[in-house]
Amino acid sequence: MEAGVGGPTRAEIGDRTLRNDRWWLTPLITFTVFSAFVVYATFRAFWGKYYFSEPYLSPFYSPCLSDCVEGASDFGQPFKGFPLSAALIILVFPLGFRMTCYYYRKSYYRAFWLSPPACGVAEPHGSYSGETRFPLLIQNVHRWFWYAAVVVGLILTYDVFLAFGPAEGESDGIHMGLGTLILLINVVFIWLYTLGCHSCRHIMGGRLRHFSKHPVRYKLWTWISKLNGNHARYAWLSLFSVALADFYVWMVAAGHFTDPRFF
Ligand code: FES
């Protein structure tokens, strides 16, 4: 017996869809932008160069834990001698967090696997098991990646504080340049994305019988719910901001661009 759109309980419709709007546009844009990001991030993560220009550290390489260029390591180098780029040691955490994010899942299932490509459009696959079996069952680790993402967020926030430090040749004290601003904007988007996570919302307000008995958790849950309503937006914004922050550090570190200093 056929399952899915061909199942016995579904209306028999010969066409793949009755939609006549441009339903293919969103998956196409998602496919293009995600692919571009993956190519860029992979290249940068493997390159192992131009990720630090005092006082800026690229978010792809933070924390730098192995054979870092001078000044880039704030937490020691326990993986000294690691044969590949330092970014590859920590990449699994932000990457795992995003790959298993509920919003990204919806997006890449639609854009890459056409499963389904859009609401009201039949998918090309004959059967559908959703996330009930291996390997997609693994997506359930998302809540654990959330804890790792909080640690990564705290480290990136620390990097922003350091970015208010002096650049080469400047006196001690508080300074600010365009790079500081870019890293600051990036970390704001990262937090808006991380705190608006569905798992975070559940951790804060899930499994409670009475909100009235947990007023603080209820308050936090209402704030998180507001962020959660814009989760897709922050997913995109933080994706762009993290790539932009890395690109900026690359340009400054390679000497292609001089960081304007505000004070
Ligand atoms: Fe998107 Fe958790 S659901 S980050």
206 Cα distance to chain centroid: 23
Cβ neighbors of 25 (< 8 A, separation 6 or more) are none
Vertex 94, ends 88 and 96: CA angle to 5°? 90
Segment 55-64 mean pLDDT? 96
Nearest CA among 188, 185, 194, 182 for reference residue 235: 194
pLDDT at 97 over 90: yes
pLDDT at 132 over 90: no
Name the residue type at position 260: P
From 108, 139, 198, 230, mutation site for ligand 1 pocket: most ligand atoms within 8 A of C-beta = 198
pLDDT at 11 over 80: no
Q: Give the tens place of pLDDT for each residue, 224-233.
A: 999 999 999 9
Ligand 1 center to 197 CA (angstroms):
4
Q: Give the tens place of pLDDT for each residue, 138-159.
A: 999 999 999 999 999 999 999 9
pLDDT at 15 over 90: no
Spans of all domains in the chain: 4-253
Residue 135, preceding peptide bond in cis (omega within 30° of 0)? yes
Residue 90 CA to residue 62 CA, distance in Å, equals 8
Which residues does ligand 1 sit against, CB inside 6 Å? 101-103, 142, 146, 197-199, 231
In DSSP terms, which residues pair with 177 in a beta bridge? 261
pLDDT-derived band of residue 123, with 50, 70 and 90 as boundaries? confident
Residue 141 CA to residue 103 CA, distance in Å, equals 15
From 139, 225, 231, mutation site for ligand 1 pocket: most ligand atoms within 8 A of C-beta = 231
- Helices 231-253 and 25-47 cross at an angle (nearest 10°) of 40
User: Quick one: 61 exposed, middle or buried, by C-beta within 10 A (0-12, 13-18, 19+)?
Assistant: buried
Residue 258 CA to residue 255 CA, distance in Å, equals 7
Segment 93-103 mean pLDDT? 95
Q: Give the tens place of pLDDT for each residue, 156-209.
A: 999 999 999 999 889 999 999 999 999 999 999 999 999 999 999 999 999 889
Helix then strand count (H, E) for the chain reads: 9, 2
Residue 48 near residue 42 (C-beta atoms within 8 A) = no
Q: Please state which of the ranges 8-17, 44-53, 79-88, 149-158 shows the lowest mean pLDDT.
A: 8-17
Ligand 1 center to 139 CA (angstroms):
11
- Written as one string, the DSSP assignment of 117-171 is SSTTB--S-S---TTSSTTGGGGGGHHHHHHHHHHHHHHHHHHHHHTTS--TTPP
pLDDT at 4: 66
pLDDT at 2: 65
Ligand 1 center to 102 CA (angstroms):
5
Residue 3 near residue 127 (C-beta atoms within 8 A) = yes
pLDDT at 6 over 90: no
Answering whether pTM is above 0.85, one says yes
From 102, 145, 201, mutation site for ligand 1 pocket: most ligand atoms within 8 A of C-beta = 102
Q: Where are the strands (E) in the chain, listed by range? A: 52-53, 56-57
Ligand 1 center to 216 CA (angstroms):
22
Counting residues of the chain whose pLDDT is more than 90, the rounded percentage is 81
Segment 67-76 mean pLDDT? 92
